[in-house]
């Protein structure tokens, strides 16, 4: 069986029905076991965009807003939000009677403390922070945010995603100080019980959970813990994660290989899910070295044939060629500049390289060895580029050394990157000059400035311009999209296959 994330609409309807049908039934200490590849470094959701942290933490902590199935922000801990006419003041009302796991009620001061910290610590928070003049509690259950200039993306920015503005009690924030939060207390449907180092993290149903009174949709609406315990088990070995689901030791396994997909199509006991799309890019170093020459970047771009690269991600179900830097499933999708995508013309690339003054200088292609797919992508690309006359040398390192290499301007020319999409263009780190590859561009700065204050309609037009600029400047060379693959045992019901997995509203049939 397969469930594909774009089709959630239809599936969700059915799942929700089955969920509500058994919703009231009492389970004898039911436990949902989710096998994941590695354990998170922390449960502090503000400090890192690592997905393991979000996958666990999003069950404990919630934010003011969250996305529905169509990726529209919907209130979660917020009751409502009011924007002043000049667009400079946001008045956010918080729901009353929402308890934290420690029994205290959620108050405006908790929200202020959490958002303050998030705007200091999170890379996304700091994007927002540049526009924020002040943030204060304007009542027990209301918060006022004042901007220094109008910005259209405030609510999207406050909508929880990775490294998003999750809300912690003020005293937890205070206790953490400059350190990471070690006491994960939130308002979520599950509360933290224990973390067995290296083995598992156990959450259990929060009985006093105050759910939103709206039908479930995506991450939004009513959340309910349908199992007594939610256990995240760390299983580094891929085949063991798979066998564990097949044998019933685990109910779900995240990140399994695409090659196993076909096998599960005929297996009634295991359901395959295509997870979040992720994008693969080739990043040129625009600050130093041979690739700092824009003309050479353009030449290189012309040599890439994505159809030869993408099959490293498995069967056709698992990848798609797509020019967009933003997600196909969201309203921000764009194909502006796509005439430069997947050109696949080695001769042209060669002549362009000649014009750019390329004289067979060595081009260092950095890749990390811990992901087989990245390494395969690098190998295919190296071959393609060599055919087009580029002297590309592979430099393989383990993840830690690779990432450290990327932080140094002198150490690399090209790098393979696999990264997650953002729900809003402005949250993409590519847009920042500080990000890997160092894209300095006045035009980008100007367009982003306009984008942030533009009306929704204008914003889409401006985004198209920025998108075209990506291709023109060859900020990244987009290769394509590929999907994560998760599997669940047949007993798992109500799993809404959203790009970032969650397990409220999920039950086990017996």
Partner 1 sequence: MGAFLVRRLAGMLVTMFIISTLVFIITNVVPGSPAALILGEDRTPDQVEALNRELGLDRSVPVRYVQWLGDLVTGDFGTSYYNDNSVASVIAGRLEPTLMLTFTSALLAVAIGIPLGIIAAVYQGTRLDYASMVVALMGAALPNFWLGLLLILLFSLYWSVFPAAGYASIFDDPGDTWRYLVLPAITLGASHAGVIARMARANLLEVMGADYLRTARSKGLRERSVVLGHALRNSMIPTFGVVGVALALMIGGSIVTEAVFAIPGVGRLLIESVLRRDFPMIQGVILLIALLVALVNLAVDIVYALLDPRVRYA
Contact set with partner 1 (CB under 8 A):
35, 38, 40-42, 47-50, 123-124, 126, 163, 178-180, 182, 196-200, 233-237, 239-240, 243-244, 246-249, 370, 397-401, 403-407, 417, 419-420, 429, 432, 434-435
What's the closest the beta carbon of residue 33 comes to partner 1, in angstroms? 9
Give the β-pairing of 477-489 and 319-320: antiparallel
How many residues belong to the chain? 510
Partners of 508 in the beta sheet? 492
Angstrom distance (rounded) from CA 430 to CA 281:
11
What's the closest the beta carbon of residue 116 comes to partner 1, in angstroms? 16
Q: Is 413 within 8 Å of 297 (Cβ atoms)?
A: no
Angstrom distance (rounded) from CA 41 to CA 35:
16
The dihedral through the CA atoms of 417, 307, 423, 334 has a sign that is positive
Our CB check for partner 1 shows the closer of 141 and 478 to be 478
What's the closest the beta carbon of residue 84 comes to partner 1, in angstroms? 30
Our CB check for partner 1 shows the closer of 56 and 349 to be 56
Our CB check for partner 1 shows the closer of 182 and 383 to be 182
Angstrom distance (rounded) from CA 470 to CA 343:
15
Our CB check for partner 1 shows the closer of 296 and 431 to be 431
Helix or strand (DSSP H, E) at 82? strand 78-83
Angstrom distance (rounded) from CA 51 to CA 49:
6
The torsion angle over the Cα atoms of residues 396, 374, 333 and 326, rounded to 10 degrees, is -50
What's the closest the beta carbon of residue 427 comes to partner 1, in angstroms? 9
Q: Is 500 within 8 Å of 54 (Cβ atoms)?
A: yes
Angstrom distance (rounded) from CA 163 to CA 121:
9
Our CB check for partner 1 shows the closer of 373 and 386 to be 373
What's the closest the beta carbon of residue 472 comes to partner 1, in angstroms? 24
- Encode 472-497: b = buried (16+ Cβ within 10 Å), e = exposed: bbbbbbbbbbbbbbbbbbeebbbbbb
Our CB check for partner 1 shows the closer of 419 and 460 to be 419
Q: Is 377 within 8 Å of 309 (Cβ atoms)?
A: yes
Our CB check for partner 1 shows the closer of 13 and 198 to be 198
Our CB check for partner 1 shows the closer of 2 and 199 to be 199
Our CB check for partner 1 shows the closer of 41 and 315 to be 41
Q: Is 274 within 8 Å of 2 (Cβ atoms)?
A: yes
Among the listed residues 192, 14, 27, 165, the one whose alpha carbon sits nearest the alpha carbon of residue 90: 165
| DSSP string for residues in 213-236 | SS--BTTBS-----SSEEEEEE--
Our CB check for partner 1 shows the closer of 48 and 505 to be 48
Angstrom distance (rounded) from CA 170 to CA 270:
43
The CA radius of gyration of the chain, in Å to the nearest whole number, is: 23
What's the closest the beta carbon of residue 419 comes to partner 1, in angstroms? 5
What's the closest the beta carbon of residue 127 comes to partner 1, in angstroms? 10
Tokens 């050394």 label which residue? Answer: 401
Assign 160 to helix, strand or coil.
Answer: coil
Angstrom distance (rounded) from CA 163 to CA 53:
9
What's the closest the beta carbon of residue 42 comes to partner 1, in angstroms? 5
Angstrom distance (rounded) from CA 176 to CA 376:
42
What's the closest the beta carbon of residue 95 comes to partner 1, in angstroms? 30
Q: Is 281 within 8 Å of 479 (Cβ atoms)?
A: yes
What's the closest the beta carbon of residue 140 comes to partner 1, in angstroms? 33
What's the closest the beta carbon of residue 432 comes to partner 1, in angstroms? 7
Q: Is 294 within 8 Å of 497 (Cβ atoms)?
A: no
Token reading at 216: 């479930």
Our CB check for partner 1 shows the closer of 138 and 369 to be 369
Our CB check for partner 1 shows the closer of 388 and 481 to be 481
What's the closest the beta carbon of residue 80 comes to partner 1, in angstroms? 30
Our CB check for partner 1 shows the closer of 163 and 306 to be 163
Angstrom distance (rounded) from CA 133 to CA 128:
10
What's the closest the beta carbon of residue 281 comes to partner 1, in angstroms? 11
């Amino acid at each position: 069986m397969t469930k594909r994330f774009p089709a959630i609409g239809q599936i969700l309807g059915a799942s929700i029905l089955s969920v509500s049908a058994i919703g009231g039934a009492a389970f004898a200490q039911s436990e949902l076991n989710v096998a994941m590849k590695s354990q998170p470094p922390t449960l502090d959701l503000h400090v890192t965009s690592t997905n393991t942290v979000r996958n666990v933490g999003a069950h404990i902590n919630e934010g003011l807003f969250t996305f529905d199935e169509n990726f529209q922000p919907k209130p979660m801990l917020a009751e409502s939000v009011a924007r002043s006419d000049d667009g400079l003041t946001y008045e956010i009302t918080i729901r009353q009677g929402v308890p934290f796991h420690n029994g205290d009620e959620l108050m405006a001061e908790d929200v202020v403390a959490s958002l303050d910290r998030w705007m200091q610590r999170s890379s996304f928070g700091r994007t927002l922070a540049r526009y924020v003049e002040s943030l204060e509690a304007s009542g027990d259950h209301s918060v006022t945010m004042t901007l220094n200039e109008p910005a259209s993306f405030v609510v999207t920015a406050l909508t929880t995603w990775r490294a998003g503005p999750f809300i912690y009690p003020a005293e937890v924030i205070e206790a953490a100080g400059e350190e990471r939060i070690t006491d994960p207390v939130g308002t979520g449907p599950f509360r933290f019980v224990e973390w067995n180092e290296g083995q598992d993290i156990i959450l259990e149903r929060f009985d006093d959970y105050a759910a939103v009174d709206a039908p479930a949709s995506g991450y939004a609406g009513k959340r309910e813990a349908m199992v007594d315990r939610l256990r995240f088990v760390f299983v580094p070995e891929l085949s063991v994660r798979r066998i564990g689901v097949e044998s019933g030791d685990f109910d779900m396994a995240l990140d399994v290989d695409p090659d196993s997909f076909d096998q599960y199509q005929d297996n009634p006991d295991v359901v395959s899910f295509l997870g979040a799309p992720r994008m693969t890019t080739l990043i040129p170093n625009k600050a130093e070295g041979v690739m700092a020459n824009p003309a050479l970047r353009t030449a290189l771009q012309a040599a890439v044939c994505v159809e030869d690269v993408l099959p490293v991600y498995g069967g056709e179900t698992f990848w798609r060629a797509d020019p967009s830097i933003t997600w196909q499933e969201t309203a921000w999708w764009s194909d502006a500049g796509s005439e430069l995508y997947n050109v696949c013309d080695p001769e042209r690339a060669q002549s362009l390289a000649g014009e750019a003054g390329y004289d067979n200088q060595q081009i260092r292609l950095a890749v990390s060895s811990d992901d087989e797919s990245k390494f395969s992508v690098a190998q295919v690309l190296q071959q393609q580029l060599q055919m087009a006359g580029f002297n590309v040398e592979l430099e393989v390192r383990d993840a830690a050394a690779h990432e450290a290499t990327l932080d140094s301007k002198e150490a690399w020319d090209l790098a393979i990157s696999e990264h997650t999409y953002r729900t809003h263009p402005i949250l993409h780190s590519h847009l920042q000059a500080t990000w890997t590859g160092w894209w300095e561009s006045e035009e980008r700065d100007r367009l982003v400035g306009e984008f942030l204050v533009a009306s929704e309609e204008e914003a889409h037009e401006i985004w198209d311009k920025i998108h075209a600029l990506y291709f023109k400047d060859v900020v990244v060379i987009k290769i394509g999209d590929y999907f994560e693959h998760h599997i669940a045992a047949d007993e798992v019901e109500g799993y809404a296959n959203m790009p970032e997995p969650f397990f409220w509203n999920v039950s086990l049939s017996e």
